[in-house]
Amino acid sequence: MCGRTCLTLAPAEVCRACRYKTQKDPKGKEEEPQWRSEYNLGKSYKPSYNIAPTDITPVLISGQHFEEEAAAEGSQVVVPMMWGIVPFWHKGEHNTHGLTTNNCRLENLMTSRLYKRSFLNGQRCVIVCEGFYEWQTTKCAKSSERDVFFIYTPQKDSIKIEDNTSWDPEDVQLLRMAGIYDVWTSESGDTLYSYTIITFQSNKKLSWMHDRMPAILDTDEKVAAWLDYKNVQPDDALKLLKPTENITWHQVSRIVNNSRNKSDQCNKPLPEGKSSPIKSKMMQSWLGKANKPRSSRDTEDDKVSKKPKLEVKEEDPEEPSSSGEPAE
- Enumerate the active-site residues: 2, 134
Compute the C-alpha angle 7/12/13, nearest 5°: 45
For residue 129, list its beta bridge partners: 175
Residue 220: in which H helix or E strand, if any? helix 220-227
Give the other-Cβ count within 10 Å of 42's Cβ.
10
Q: Which of 131, 144, 152, 138 is nearest to 257 (CA)?
A: 144
> Are residues 254 and 278 in contact, defined by beta-carbon separation less than 8 angstroms?
yes
Compute the C-alpha angle 66/67/71, nearest 5°: 100
> Are residues 218 and 244 in contact, defined by beta-carbon separation less than 8 angstroms?
yes
